[in-house]
Amino acid sequence: MSKPAAKTDQRAPAPRRVDLKDFNLDRLRSVLLPMPLCTEFVLEDGVGDEPLTPASVLFPIVLRESGPSVLLTQRTDHLKDHPGQISFPGGRVEPEDSSPAHTALREAEEEIGLSSAHIEVLGYLPEYRTVTGFCVTPVVAIVTPPFELRPDPGEVAEIFEVPLAFLMDSSNHQQHSLQYRGKLRHYFAMPYGKYFIWGATAGIIAALSRALST
């Protein structure tokens, strides 16, 4: 569904699998941007030159004893933007936000009650520009248990975790297409049990998988 600024097509053959047996935080930090850069970005299939709304999401990697997992939410069906979809905690940049990380941390606390006391920001992935009109900065962070979550019932229908190893395995990355605004659009999907992870969330996950596979 997306294409990096360097013209690498996400519809190209998937990269090799990422071996997470020796996964460590130093390796993760090494593939991330130390600060957000507007010169590095990923374009969803179909993005034009229309104005985009700045937003940030938290890519929360939970350090479980059984292995790292990624915390995701399912949005409620009545929301205006992306109703019912699987997403990272996050949202639009507000005037009081001092940085993309501030936006992501604020939204995570508002949406799911995740306190920043449990979060360590590691770095950033390239901006992800969506066909639905958002310029999203993914803020990658580790989350240390134990922690309590309080989902906002107006925004979050469910909170769940998916093993990081599953999401980083390119064999689990499917490529789909649909008609959107009169044109055929291509996008990633990563079905996991009853959850259909797709669109921008899947595209951001695939970006990290590609970075770790190089």
Q: Does 9 have pLDDT greater than 70?
A: no
Reported as a pLDDT band with limits 50, 70 and 90, residue 7 is very low
User: What are the backbone angles phi and psi of residue 75, rounded to the nearest 5°?
Assistant: -75, 150
**How much is the mean pLDDT over the chain?**
86
Distance CA 189, CA 206 (A): 9
pLDDT at 97: 97
Q: Inform me whether the pLDDT recorded for 152 exceeds 70.
A: yes
How much is the pLDDT for 81?
60
Q: In this predicted structure, which of 31-45, 53-67, 106-120, 193-207 has the lowest mean pLDDT?
A: 31-45
The pLDDT of residue 129 is: 93
Residue 4: its pLDDT value, please?
33
pLDDT in tens, 57-85: 999 999 998 999 999 999 887 766 656 78
pLDDT per position as a tens digit, 173-182: 998 877 766 6
Q: What's the CATH class of domain 2-10+25-213?
A: alpha beta
